[in-house]
A and B are shown apart, each in its own frame.
Chain A
């Protein structure tokens, strides 16, 4: 990871203090002002105050795996909801239109999301908070940095979030492959308990929280929040039907709120420096804060940078990632992981925030850019992506279970010079059959995003594979 130094604390709150290849210890984190926000919040803020600050900060969810976690909140709650909270019986009214499913939790206001947790003395208990650290979206390597580099920042963010929603128990859901993060988080949790930041009556307050680390056993679908809940319960991680939504019926049937690692890591800084400061970090009108942006592929300096939300792809690719490697030109890029639509060089100047990227026909997703260069076959790249999604399908619903392998096989045939002209129609048809509303969760619709944009932008290459009976990029 490329951690640059030199900026002031107020510019890159998430990564400013990271050390190369070591986690901040508790003492080091405290020296940077760590746990001050928690101390102040427990002393002088109500849970509602805290939720208000997060809501005012316009912190939007940084998950972006392309699942339907956010669309359920597709209506915008009015101001009143923050103060009165949503009673459980009203939650089920919030049924998303099927055609709206399949986008992303990214972009949804975190403060609003917290407001959906039932509140008050008569709310069901225990309530749960889960940090989603199942980062498995191909091309995405942003949460790893925060998990490995500053687990206390995440833990403080979780305690604050738990206080805001009055959760009793919290879990960090971590993918197995992040072995280094697992060791460091486990140590940090012990440190936090010993220092009185976790457990009963935290820092002498009335608030108590238990925090556990759950290390999964590897499966992409665990990143979908309802599948994640099944995984936490020790079951097969198939998604659940919605409604009921997690704040009504979550893990073990109790109210549950799931947030991404980057989202939660922003929370202590917002509480410490305020909503206006957080908004001022951003170049985007609608979404506050910084964003972890990454670039992989044939650039000079692949890496990850914390930059103002709304930084352009051009700046990220050409300044931070050092531009294309000699002998390679930029043909297209996926702006935020495998399940986002391709963008072209003509899109380089759009600010990478949720709204602007959507206007350009794609999604910000996880904000980690994957570069398609001019010497890499677009059909081969989409084949790799669809092969992944076919394997990642949980098998629960037929369109996804059967449609994705079919898509991958057609693409393989094209790559091997065995494509026929009707293949392109069949691929096009699949982008409809597996579109939002036709599948149980958003995995398959997400899988169709790179495919449908590739069919649009690289049609000539697809046809050439059929006409020449071979992949033109293979010698």
Chain B
């Protein structure tokens, strides 16, 4: 961007003058710099504080732990920094500044590309780089040869001759400029940034994403009600969700068993049977990390997994009141998992809080915990409750938490698969376990445009930064001793550029011309010799 704009010392007081002053300030480089710094600084808190978009549970926990600071930061948008009005204000101002700076430059550049380079200055020896040589050719020959060669090498060239000043006859000159791509690339880069912003906004407005947990052997239909979490853009509607469905037939997982990085995941694979729409034929497919599947414009990604221990609960009369796999959420890298079983249909209502350990261990400090993520030695630790689950109160409850306000504790028990725990109100049998995986289903209509725009930005930026804009001038004049004095000067228009290479190259062109002519002349001579010999 140019920093040649005049900056007013104080804002004028009339409203039109003030607006013009404010606009000039906003589009100045200095303000762009300040806004860039503001953007960098404003991004920092979002990387330190938990963010709603990434981890809503952690946000709630954080606010609970900091009763004064938490709600205040929450109100100021610090748990959703990248959606906060102050963050938007910074980047929108930056983009307004960018557009205000770049659009006029597009016009100037368009004109500059269609205008020949300016006439050569009178005193070339005052330029950044200058060299001087004498040659035998006439000034006009040098000029026409050099200008032709420069044009061939992609320079914009203008030639002319000096007007006589103070009795000085002057000479003929060549003025050439190269490196317009620097500005072209720079402008395209900035405009591509605007395109990226538009594409991101479009994706946010029209896109949607859902998260779903599916147990092995179970299925999922892509409707709003079946998603565990659904985030749609403001302009996304339920109609824009394709009605595909899939069943999780099998989920394979492997963990590192050797000493180095023991427990690190090595393989996740979800085998699914996919239906594009209700009633359509099912096809087998494999979803892996880094390898999502595409269905009806949306993509299904494998993002997580865990254990679902299986329980059968009977009431005091021996009737089965519950028989299902229950999704437990992993709490650590070894999949120590917690979950809740609610049985509203028994009398009294029953509730269980559970801890599932795929590979069980117990010690004084950490209590029961898992020491390996695979299910080598599974067990559950249950605490059983009876009374009122509180489901009738109308307050929505999480399926992962048990409200024991209206309940009495029955007791605690550890179970291994196959074991039954009998108590006065009934019994619970831990029958085994299965796995679940979580999928992210996403549709982002802006992502292709964002990709194209960012690749364009990158290419334009590279071209711009690797191109040097420079001018070069040559003046050839008679030195009044039968020779021609050739002066070549250069000026870099990019900051800190070096044009001495170009100056050397132009002198070389002039010298080559003469050398070439001499060689041609020699050849003519030798031909003549041969002729005379014959």
A, B co-complexed: no
